């Protein structure tokens, strides 16, 4: 096998599907009453079920086609907007009507942020948490996102074109992008070169994903591919790395597999507090440089005066290295590559130690936590439920939470509050442009 064709895979039994709803395909007129957690409009059917209508806004009367079951209700697509809401604007991107990358381009910017903050404050109030200082949100603008993962697919026909872009909303269909207003122009500029190599290497019916990050040394690209590239594929990919002026090109079997460099044309690193970290492929970085800077400032404010700190879910040291400039820091992460990179960057600094540990399976216990004056934790979207329980049972005086998911943040905040912590300050960072997501940093104190 030359690395250009797909290996055979065993067939899987088809997943059980819900029976089609009797109303599926029906066109109905509804009034949109609110926005759901994903930014979709919500209408209520006469039988009391919710109807989720992407790209609609509260107060709008719309004709929609009812779709499949979704959660406790049904999905729907707009057929016609009969009465638009005053807050509706013309979406700036030509792909917005299909692309699933953005959900709120049709909502005026000031209303977009207000809705996100209202949801966050309402969820905290419902959890019984109040009395905190809500700082002014940091907002990130178009063209600032420095990482993106694109989907690519080739149709089953012999000469089918390659589609490169993002998936449609709740679909595997790929929207072929000509532009993207969210990601950095340097990433958009790579798309024609990337499309050209995909035309050469994808066989009919094949799909793949390509993760692109913009670093100080240039573009870092990771290609998902089902087997190690053979000589012919390697040659084509090396030419792509040259033509695209990539800093590094790596491959992995899928998003859960480790990535292996194929071509490295320049050192790949990022600097935190002036310390360069040699980055492993596909490592986590904050979505934007401005968002990262705001979060680092919030973490440093919350830990000011602490002499011994823990940085949990530390990654490659976004917060660890700034913290280590002022005190002792013990960093913990489940990724061996990230821990090794951080430890290598901090070698020679006696204030910094790093440990590989899965905090979901084995969170730090209260006695382990009690060694620290402050604890910082920045978990994935699932939050840090078990670690929050251990913190609540500890004597740590200050905890700083960084979160990209307000729902799991509120859950963890309620756990901390039950252990005697008080939410002192909340810093929203709106770095997921035109989406329902919101990043934040929160300072808790006993």
Residues labelled catalytic: 404
CB 406 within 8 A of CB 115: no
- Which two three-digit tokens encode residue 58? 């509260």
What span, in angstroms and rounded, lies between the C-alpha atoms of 240 and 187?
A: 14
Phi-psi bin for 3: left (phi > 0), alpha (psi -120 to 50), beta?
Answer: left
Neighbours of 399 (CB within 10 A): 31
Phi and psi at residue 57, to the nearest 5°: -135, 155
What span, in angstroms and rounded, lies between the C-alpha atoms of 193 and 212?
A: 13
CB 439 within 8 A of CB 428: yes
Sequence-separated (6 or more) residues with CB below 8 Å from residue 363: 384, 386, 387, 389, 390
Burial call 320-332: b when 16+ CB within 10 Å, e when fewer: bbbbbebbbbbbb
Phi and psi at residue 192, to the nearest 5°: -60, -40
Q: In what order do the strands lie in the sheet with 73-83?
A: 27-31, 61-70, 73-83, 50-53, 41-44, 34-35
What span, in angstroms and rounded, lies between the C-alpha atoms of 267 and 299?
A: 29
Neighbours of 22 (CB within 10 A): 8
What span, in angstroms and rounded, lies between the C-alpha atoms of 40 and 58?
A: 10
Phi and psi at residue 215, to the nearest 5°: -115, 180
Partners of 48 in beta bridges: none
∠ CA 82-83-89, nearest 5°, is 115
Cα distances (angstroms) measured from residue 253 to each of 234, 259, 260, 362: 15, 8, 10, 28
What span, in angstroms and rounded, lies between the C-alpha atoms of 66 and 46?
A: 13
CB 29 within 8 A of CB 63: yes
Sign for the pseudo-dihedral over CA of 35, 40, 45, 50: negative
């Amino acid at each position: 096998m030359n690395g250009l064709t797909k290996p055979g895979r065993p067939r899987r039994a088809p997943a059980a599907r819900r029976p089609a709803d009797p109303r599926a395909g029906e066109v109905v007129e509804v009034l949109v009453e609110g926005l759901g957690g994903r930014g979709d409009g919500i209408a209520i059917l006469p039988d009391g079920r919710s109807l989720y209508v992407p790209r609609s806004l509260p107060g709008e009367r719309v004709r929609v086609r009812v779709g499949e079951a979704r959660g406790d209700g049904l999905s729907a697509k707009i057929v016609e907007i009969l009465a638009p809401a005053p807050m509706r604007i013309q979406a700036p991107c030509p792909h917005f009507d299909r692309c699933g990358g953005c959900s709120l381009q049709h909502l005026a910017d000031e209303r977009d942020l207000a809705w996100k903050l209202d949801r966050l404050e309402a969820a905290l109030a419902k959890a019984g948490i109040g009395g905190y200082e809500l700082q002014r949100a940091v907002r990130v603008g178009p063209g600032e996102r420095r990482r993106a993962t694109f989907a690519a697919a080739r149709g089953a026909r012999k000469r089918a074109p390659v589609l490169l872009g993002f998936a449609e909303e709740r679909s595997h269909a790929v929207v072929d992008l000509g532009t993207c207003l969210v990601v950095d122009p340097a990433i958009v500029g790579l798309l024609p070169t990337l499309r050209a190599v995909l035309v050469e290497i994808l066989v009919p019916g094949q799909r793949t994903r390509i993760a692109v990050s913009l670093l100080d040394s240039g573009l870092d690209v990771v290609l998902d591919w089902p087997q190690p590239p053979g000589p012919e594929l390697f040659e084509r990919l090396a030419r792509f790395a040259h033509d695209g002026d990539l800093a590094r090109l790596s491959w992995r079997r899928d998003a859960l597999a480790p990535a292996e460099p194929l071509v490295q044309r320049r050192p790949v690193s990022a600097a935190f507090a002036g310390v360069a970290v040699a980055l492993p492929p596909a490592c986590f970085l904050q979505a934007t440089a401005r968002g990262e800077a705001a979060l680092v400032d919030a973490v440093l404010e919350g830990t000011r005066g602490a002499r011994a700190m823990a940085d949990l879910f530390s990654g490659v040291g976004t917060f660890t290295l700034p913290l280590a400039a002022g005190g002792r820091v013990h960093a913990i992460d489940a990724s061996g590559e990230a821990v090794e990179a951080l430890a290598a960057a901090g070698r020679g600094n006696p204030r910094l130690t790093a440990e590989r540990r899965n905090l979901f399976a084995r969170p730090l216990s209260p006695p382990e936590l009690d060694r620290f004056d402050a604890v910082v934790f920045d978990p994935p979207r699932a939050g840090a439920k078990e670690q929050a329980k251990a913190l609540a049972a500890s004597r740590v005086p200050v905890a700083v939470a960084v979160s990209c998911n307000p729902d799991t943040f509120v859950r963890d905040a309620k756990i901390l509050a039950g252990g005697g912590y008080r939410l002192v300050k909340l810093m929203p960072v709106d770095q997921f442009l035109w989406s329902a997501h919101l990043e934040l940093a929160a300072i808790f104190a006993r």
